[in-house]
Amino acid sequence: MAASQSLQGKTAAVTGAASGIGFASAKAMADAGARVVLIDRDAAALDKACAAIGANGATALPLVLDLLDPAQCNALLERSLALLGTLDIFHANAGLYVGGDLLDTTPEAIDRMLNLNVNVVMKNVHNVLPHMVGRGTGDILVTSSLAAHYPTPWEPVYASSKWAIDCFVQTVRRQMFKHGIRVGSVSPGPVITGLLADWPADKLAEAKASGSLVEAAEVAEVLLFMLTRPRGMTIRDVVLMPTNFDL
């Protein structure tokens, strides 16, 4: 089956979809035939993203939600179903970055990042699972990070959030496979997105100089590969990074 038809007739929702990995993921799924709801709190950026995807005839629908607002977070499935009717694929991608020395971080920044990177992901997955269990099928993807697999010394708060979510993915997957639901994560190295603006300046300069950055579209290609495997196969976690990142 051609890649352009691989998700024909499927429905999907992606959080943090107005830019970066979320946008690339939504575009890849829409281009492959899925109807996709793009979820973000930035209405203007969301409209622009949907217009860019829809320019080629793909179906991209905006859904403005502030996932840090508990009521809006809890409405994710209900409002997605109002647009799609069913939900086959959910990509929990929204996240924040806090790097640098822990001594320079504020409690407020820690709370906000952990709420979005951990709590919101868990709540979103909890929200969509009953619908998928009821249908006996579904795919859940989570954007993790290379930082989930290595104690990155320049980002202790961010890395800890990804270690937590990696454990969540691996344990939920073991609970859900009997319901026909696949759960997996993608763990990229540094990706060229807005989050890099918060990287320590020396680390960002070093990564750029050595060619140690990944394009968001490259991550989306991996996500599409995970989704298009036969139902009896689960790609549980893919770690991807520029070859030069190991230098």
What proportion of the chain, given as a percentage, has pLDDT over 70?
A: 88
Q: Where are the domains of the chain?
A: 3-189+216-230
pLDDT value at position 212?
67
Q: What is the mean pLDDT of residues 147-157?
A: 88
pLDDT digits 0-9 by tens, 30-47: 999 999 999 999 999 999
- Superfamily in which the 3-189+216-230 domain is placed by CATH: NAD(P)-binding Rossmann-like Domain (3.40.50.720)
Q: What is the mean pLDDT of residues 134-144?
A: 97
Give a three-class secondary structure readout of the chain: CCHHHCCCCCEEEEECCCCHHHHHHHHHHHHCCCEEEEEECCHHHHHHHHHHHHCCCCEEEEEECCCCCHHHHHCHHHHHHHHHCCCCEEEECCCCCCCCCHHHCCHHHHHHHHHHHHHHHHHHHHHHHHHHHHHCCEEEEEECCHHHCCCCCCCHHHHHHHHHHHHHHHHHHHHHHHHCEEEEEEEECCECCHHHHHCCHHHHHHHHHCCCCECHHHHHHHHHHHHCCCCCCCCCEEEECCHHHHC
Of 23, 90, 97, 158, which residue is the catalytic one?
158
Is residue 158 among the annotated active site residues? yes
Residue 88 pLDDT level (bands cut at 50, 70, 90): very high
Average pLDDT in the chain: 90
- Select the more confidently predicted residue: 243 or 148: 148
pLDDT value at position 1?
38
Report the range out of 134-138, 144-148, 193-197, 238-242 with the highest average pLDDT: 134-138
